[in-house]
Structure 1
């Protein structure tokens, strides 16, 4: 008989609700009161789950109430505080969640054990990189940029700015540095690394 897996959960695999998603959907504005549904989809675009969010805000604070069914049987309803802080550039306010468990101010809440909370509220929750073996991390240090196709995805995103005011942006220079580093890989080192 097989054993239950005791491997920890990865942050990247959990459902999450972020401030930026709520802003993009137009759900997070000053002085509003609304009741909306959020949906998660699979790779084929089919809806896999949903949650009702009830948002009430003033100019500088508010609350979001989550209402959903967990594991098709457990009805869950609770409220998370919203606060604002001045933006670094001095051009308005930024919204944040206040985790009801840890009271940490954050921009994302992750679903684990039935509740959307800050990631530090859960035991045995790690980022994918933290769970990689030492050999795999060494492999990524040496050949990571060569194997990473996300560099080109970022470079050719619809609204990616390569230049601002006639000068290359910092993000563009960073991406080009990583892409150009691929040309310097010595494939004899790859063979040595694999045989080690």
Structure 2
């Protein structure tokens, strides 16, 4: 008997707050208090916004203020620094208010931004794929991702060479594009229609 569909919430599709973006936007400078509004959009249409206050003084925290399902939410998520494994500087982490686990991303599920283990029944999109589809993607995935690889190769700040040598990222992309060119449309059609 087949398993019934559960239609889980996908972590890939929910709103997220991550340390990398906060650092890129200048919120995690030492000994400062900074507030702003973060907005999300899909296809040019605004899908949500949140007011944040980041305090990196004595006890660092991020204060979140937003409405979820017409209910106001206002709470703090504490931040912590650990020394980098490279010996240069520190790495910031969130401390989840529910699980007390450190993480670099918070996901909005059931109205709160929390660590992924705070939620039951949520999955990544890759986990919902069938075994057959994963096998197909292993063999023909480069063909399906060809456009994405070209886009990355021609992105604004992509470096093909460093110090006169091709970069590892460039060589990897070229290998994936060559692999994609080996797969023909007929191979794909034969796979799905025979």
The equivalent residue for 1:157 is: 155
Tell me by how many angstroms 1:184 deviates: 2.3
Q: How many angstroms does 1:42 deviate by?
A: 2.4
Deviation at 1:187, TM superposition (A): 5.5
Which residue of 2 is the match for residue 168 of structure 1?
A: 166
Cα distance in 2 for partners of 1:169, 1:104 equals 36
In structure 2, the partner of 1:69 is: 67
In the alignment, what sits opposite 2:20?
20
Unaligned runs of 5+ in 2: none
- Which residue number in structure 2 is paired with residue 51 of structure 1? 50
Secondary structure of 1:137's aligned partner: helix
Which 4+ residue blocks in structure 1 deviate beyond 4 angstroms?
A: 186-189
Corresponding residue for 2:36? Answer: 36
2:84 is matched with which residue? 87
Count of residues in Structure 1 that have an aligned counterpart in Structure 2: 189
Per the TM alignment, residue 191 of structure 1 is displaced from its structure 2 partner at its CA by 4.5
Q: 2:138 aligns with which of 141, 153, 162?
A: 141
1:11 matches 2:8: no
State which of 100, 121, 141 in structure 1 corresponds to 2:118. Answer: 121
2:54 and 2:63 in contact (8 A); partners too: yes
Unaligned runs of 5+ residues in structure 1 are none
2:99–2:117 CA contact under 8 A, matched in 1: yes
Shift in Å, 1:186: 5.5
- TM-score, with length taken from structure 1: 0.87
Encode CA deviations 1:72-128: one digit per residue, 9 max, x unaligned: 2x1111111111122333332221111112222211101000100111211111111
